Amino acid sequence: MGVAGCGKSTLGAALAQVRGWPLIEGDDFHCTSSRDKMQRGIALTDADREGWLTILADELCHRPAGAVLTCSALKRSYRDRLRTASPKLCFLCLDIDRAQALQRVTQRAASHFFSADLVDSQFATLESPVGEARVLRLDALAPLDQLLAEALPWLHAQETP
Protein backbone atom coordinates (compact mmCIF):
# COMPACT_ATOMS: atom_id res chain seq x y z
CA MET A 1 0.00 0.00 0.00
CA GLY A 2 0.99 3.60 -0.44
CA VAL A 3 0.71 6.63 -2.66
CA ALA A 4 1.08 6.52 -6.43
CA GLY A 5 4.64 5.89 -7.53
CA CYS A 6 5.79 4.19 -4.34
CA GLY A 7 6.43 0.84 -6.04
CA LYS A 8 3.38 -1.21 -5.07
CA SER A 9 3.19 -3.04 -8.39
CA THR A 10 6.90 -3.83 -8.51
CA LEU A 11 7.09 -5.16 -4.97
CA GLY A 12 3.72 -6.88 -5.27
CA ALA A 13 4.76 -8.79 -8.39
CA ALA A 14 8.01 -9.87 -6.76
CA LEU A 15 6.25 -11.02 -3.58
CA ALA A 16 3.62 -12.92 -5.55
CA GLN A 17 6.32 -14.71 -7.51
CA VAL A 18 8.37 -15.63 -4.42
CA ARG A 19 5.34 -16.74 -2.41
CA GLY A 20 3.63 -18.50 -5.31
CA TRP A 21 0.48 -16.48 -4.74
CA PRO A 22 -1.75 -14.83 -7.30
CA LEU A 23 -1.27 -11.11 -7.83
CA ILE A 24 -4.32 -8.88 -7.61
CA GLU A 25 -3.27 -5.64 -9.30
CA GLY A 26 -5.61 -3.04 -7.82
CA ASP A 27 -5.27 -0.69 -10.80
CA ASP A 28 -6.82 -3.36 -13.03
CA PHE A 29 -10.11 -3.10 -11.14
CA HIS A 30 -10.80 0.63 -11.44
CA CYS A 31 -13.93 1.31 -13.47
CA THR A 32 -13.70 3.27 -16.72
CA SER A 33 -15.08 6.48 -15.20
CA SER A 34 -12.53 6.39 -12.36
CA ARG A 35 -9.68 5.78 -14.79
CA ASP A 36 -10.93 8.68 -16.90
CA LYS A 37 -11.06 10.98 -13.87
CA MET A 38 -7.54 10.06 -12.82
CA GLN A 39 -6.22 10.51 -16.34
CA ARG A 40 -7.72 14.01 -16.40
CA GLY A 41 -6.13 14.85 -13.03
CA ILE A 42 -9.35 14.64 -10.99
CA ALA A 43 -8.93 12.99 -7.61
CA LEU A 44 -11.21 10.09 -6.73
CA THR A 45 -13.69 10.49 -3.90
CA ASP A 46 -14.72 7.93 -1.32
CA ALA A 47 -17.82 7.32 -3.46
CA ASP A 48 -15.63 6.65 -6.51
CA ARG A 49 -13.60 4.14 -4.54
CA GLU A 50 -16.62 2.36 -3.04
CA GLY A 51 -17.20 -0.12 -5.86
CA TRP A 52 -13.46 -0.62 -6.36
CA LEU A 53 -12.96 -1.55 -2.70
CA THR A 54 -15.94 -3.91 -2.89
CA ILE A 55 -14.36 -5.70 -5.85
CA LEU A 56 -10.94 -5.89 -4.17
CA ALA A 57 -12.49 -7.25 -0.97
CA ASP A 58 -14.32 -9.86 -3.03
CA GLU A 59 -11.08 -10.80 -4.80
CA LEU A 60 -9.44 -11.37 -1.40
CA CYS A 61 -12.39 -13.49 -0.21
CA HIS A 62 -12.00 -15.73 -3.26
CA ARG A 63 -8.36 -16.43 -2.38
CA PRO A 64 -8.37 -17.76 1.19
CA ALA A 65 -5.05 -19.56 0.63
CA GLY A 66 -3.36 -16.21 0.05
CA ALA A 67 -2.78 -13.50 -2.52
CA VAL A 68 -0.82 -10.32 -2.99
CA LEU A 69 -2.97 -7.23 -3.51
CA THR A 70 -1.53 -3.96 -4.74
CA CYS A 71 -3.77 -1.16 -3.58
CA SER A 72 -3.21 2.39 -2.38
CA ALA A 73 -5.37 1.79 0.73
CA LEU A 74 -4.77 5.43 1.64
CA LYS A 75 -7.34 5.71 4.43
CA ARG A 76 -7.75 3.56 7.50
CA SER A 77 -11.39 2.98 6.57
CA TYR A 78 -10.24 1.47 3.25
CA ARG A 79 -7.74 -0.79 5.02
CA ASP A 80 -10.36 -1.81 7.59
CA ARG A 81 -12.75 -2.74 4.81
CA LEU A 82 -10.12 -4.99 3.27
CA ARG A 83 -9.30 -6.45 6.69
CA THR A 84 -12.95 -7.40 7.10
CA ALA A 85 -12.70 -9.42 3.88
CA SER A 86 -9.42 -11.02 4.94
CA PRO A 87 -8.89 -10.86 8.72
CA LYS A 88 -5.23 -11.98 8.54
CA LEU A 89 -4.41 -9.36 5.92
CA CYS A 90 -1.00 -7.72 6.30
CA PHE A 91 -0.01 -4.37 4.86
CA LEU A 92 3.40 -3.39 3.56
CA CYS A 93 3.43 0.40 3.61
CA LEU A 94 5.84 1.75 1.02
CA ASP A 95 6.88 5.13 2.37
CA ILE A 96 8.06 7.73 -0.13
CA ASP A 97 8.30 11.51 -0.11
CA ARG A 98 6.30 13.75 -2.44
CA ALA A 99 9.23 14.72 -4.69
CA GLN A 100 10.25 11.11 -5.36
CA ALA A 101 6.64 10.00 -5.92
CA LEU A 102 6.12 12.86 -8.38
CA GLN A 103 9.31 11.96 -10.24
CA ARG A 104 8.29 8.31 -10.55
CA VAL A 105 4.72 9.09 -11.65
CA THR A 106 6.00 11.59 -14.21
CA GLN A 107 8.48 9.03 -15.59
CA ARG A 108 5.74 6.46 -16.21
CA ALA A 109 3.23 8.95 -17.71
CA ALA A 110 3.32 7.37 -21.16
CA SER A 111 2.43 3.92 -19.85
CA HIS A 112 0.04 4.58 -16.93
CA PHE A 113 -3.33 6.31 -16.67
CA PHE A 114 -2.57 8.09 -13.37
CA SER A 115 -1.88 11.81 -13.80
CA ALA A 116 1.08 13.36 -12.04
CA ASP A 117 -1.30 16.20 -11.11
CA LEU A 118 -2.81 13.85 -8.52
CA VAL A 119 0.30 13.15 -6.45
CA ASP A 120 -0.50 15.96 -4.00
CA SER A 121 -4.04 14.63 -3.51
CA GLN A 122 -2.61 11.20 -2.67
CA PHE A 123 -0.53 12.69 0.13
CA ALA A 124 -3.48 14.80 1.33
CA THR A 125 -5.67 11.68 1.53
CA LEU A 126 -3.06 9.38 3.08
CA GLU A 127 -3.71 8.37 6.69
CA SER A 128 -0.53 6.75 7.93
CA PRO A 129 -0.99 3.10 8.89
CA VAL A 130 2.05 3.14 11.17
CA GLY A 131 0.95 1.79 14.53
CA GLU A 132 -1.91 -0.28 13.10
CA ALA A 133 -1.77 -4.04 13.62
CA ARG A 134 -0.09 -6.14 10.90
CA VAL A 135 1.57 -3.19 9.13
CA LEU A 136 5.22 -2.99 8.15
CA ARG A 137 6.65 0.32 6.97
CA LEU A 138 9.24 0.01 4.21
CA ASP A 139 11.44 2.63 2.57
CA ALA A 140 10.09 2.79 -0.99
CA LEU A 141 13.48 3.98 -2.24
CA ALA A 142 15.28 0.85 -1.04
CA PRO A 143 16.34 -1.66 -3.71
CA LEU A 144 13.82 -4.41 -4.47
CA ASP A 145 16.10 -7.09 -3.01
CA GLN A 146 16.27 -5.20 0.27
CA LEU A 147 12.49 -4.72 0.35
CA LEU A 148 12.01 -8.46 -0.13
CA ALA A 149 14.64 -9.24 2.51
CA GLU A 150 12.71 -7.12 5.01
CA ALA A 151 9.19 -8.11 3.96
CA LEU A 152 9.46 -11.89 3.62
CA PRO A 153 10.61 -12.73 7.18
CA TRP A 154 8.09 -10.26 8.59
CA LEU A 155 5.27 -11.84 6.57
CA HIS A 156 6.36 -15.29 7.70
CA ALA A 157 6.28 -14.13 11.32
CA GLN A 158 2.72 -12.85 10.82
CA GLU A 159 1.64 -16.33 9.72
CA THR A 160 3.17 -18.04 12.73
CA PRO A 161 0.69 -18.38 15.60
For residue 81, the tally of other CB atoms under 10 A from its CB is 17
Asked whether the CA dihedral 2, 48, 40, 68 is positive or negative, the reply is positive
Report which DSSP code applies to 105.
Answer: H
Residue 118 or residue 25, greater confidence: 25
Distance separating the N- and C-terminal Cα atoms of the chain: 24
Mean pLDDT taken over the chain? 92
Cα gap 113→111, rounded to integer Å: 7
Could you give the domains of the chain? 8-159 (3.40.50.300)
Q: Please state the rounded mean pLDDT for residues 93-104.
A: 94
19 CB burial (10 A radius; 0-12, 13-18, 19+): middle
Q: Are 143 and 94 in contact (CB under 8 A)?
A: no
Cα(25)–Cα(23) distance, rounded to whole angstroms? 6
Q: What pLDDT was estimated at residue 114?
A: 66
Q: Residue 106: enclosing H or E segment and its boundaries?
A: helix 98-107
Reported pTM: 0.90
The neighbouring-strand residues paired with 138 are 94
Question: Which of residues 39 and 17 earns the better pLDDT score?
Answer: 17
Digit-coded pLDDT (tens) for 45-54:
999 999 999 9
Q: Is the CA virtual torsion 30, 17, 82, 128 positive or negative?
A: negative
